[in-house]
Structure 1
């Protein structure tokens, strides 16, 4: 089933939009700089992602104007296929990564999911951003019956409480917090 997806960017794509090193996005997020508010991102499997509309508009909101590379924007849109350009995280449908999927199915190990992905039993990812695979929650839920049918030892039973929390935006399980690294790790919430 083909769904129109919101266009998203990770650190690498965000940096490419402004022709800077991906580490610069981390510097913009640093509390000492205060250039990029972390709350503008959604967190999936412990990593921040931004709606493309926000990322493109970001350059106009800073003290020092930053010009977006429109060729990079066009490439991001082309790579992600048919979709739409959201501006705020609140506009996004539920999106999951591997940590949320493991929790949703209560998989005994990350290897169970990795093997299903590698062997092609798991649905194709909806995004590949900054090296990470992401899926619309509905893409994963639609695949649950076929995962159950083809499984040998893992039941692939969906935890409806986790699904409800993901849909309502109240999920607080594994993957919903960014693990801060570097000199600001001690100051993280």
Structure 2
């Protein structure tokens, strides 16, 4: 039985919940600042961190320095995402994919193939638009395969079942499965 779409937040929405600049969320994650926000609390989709709304909204009360969540922002996030439910932990979430995982799922020859399919309205509408990125539940994408094949000119839209299995059981380690370190910490990650 599916619970429907869970409420999620990206960096921008997380920052809005606490009325801070989105760069502050990156600072909370920073090892040089003691990782006030544990990176393990996020899921990674297409190389970007996302959090269950329940966790993000409750996080401020768990820190050494109490941070008050903006309940109006939380209500706006829920309203924007439509009918759904509020998870607290990443392992409660269904498999979620972004463009990098979708390219791997179908072994598309180029990112432009997917971008064109999305831009022309032949790809299913995204389930979330968070911090400027489109995300889909894996099942939304898989349910659209017959329509994708029907509208395709040259792409077969064949699903790699090994990628599906890895996404479902949380072992996917292909493109988009890790956050690319940027800034001054990038060299230390090598």
Q: TM-score range by the shorter chain?
A: over 0.9
Aligned to 1:13: 13
The DSSP-based 3-state class of the residue aligned with 1:83 is: coil
Query: Deviation of residue 187 (structure 1)?
Result: 2.9
Tell whether the 8 Å contact from 2:36 to 2:63 is kept in structure 1 after alignment.
Answer: yes
Say whether residues 1:26 and 2:26 are aligned partners. Answer: yes
Aligned to 1:122: 123
Q: How does 1:40-59 map to 2 (within 5 A)?
A: 40-59=41-60
Query: Deviation of residue 167 (structure 1)?
Result: 0.3
Query: Structure 2 CA distance, aligned partners of 1:185 and 1:26?
Result: 13
Say whether residues 1:76 and 2:77 are aligned partners. Answer: yes
Say whether residues 1:111 and 2:106 are aligned partners. Answer: no
Query: Structure 1 CA distance, aligned partners of 2:59 and 2:29?
Result: 12
Aligned to 2:181: 180
Q: How does 1:147-186 map to 2 (within 5 A)?
A: 147-186=148-187
Query: Structure 1 CA distance, aligned partners of 2:183 and 2:26?
Result: 10
The DSSP-based 3-state class of the residue aligned with 2:68 is: coil
Aligned to 1:85: 86
The DSSP-based 3-state class of the residue aligned with 2:153 is: coil
Query: Structure 1 CA distance, aligned partners of 2:75 and 2:162?
Result: 38
The runs of at least 4 consecutive aligned structure 1 residues that moved more than 4 Å come to none
The DSSP-based 3-state class of the residue aligned with 1:64 is: coil
Query: Structure 2 CA distance, aligned partners of 1:92 and 1:49?
Result: 11
Query: Deviation of residue 77 (structure 1)?
Result: 0.1
Aligned to 2:96: 95
- With the length of structure 2 as denominator, give the TM-score of the two structures: 0.97
The DSSP-based 3-state class of the residue aligned with 2:16 is: helix
Indicate how the Cα distance of structure 1 residues 171 and 187 shifts in structure 2: closer, same or farther if over 3 A, else same. same
Tell whether the 8 Å contact from 2:149 to 2:156 is kept in structure 1 after alignment.
Answer: yes
The DSSP-based 3-state class of the residue aligned with 1:178 is: coil
Unaligned runs of 5+ in 1: none
Say whether residues 1:140 and 2:127 are aligned partners. Answer: no
Query: Structure 2 CA distance, aligned partners of 1:68 and 1:98?
Result: 31
Query: Deviation of residue 188 (structure 1)?
Result: 2.9
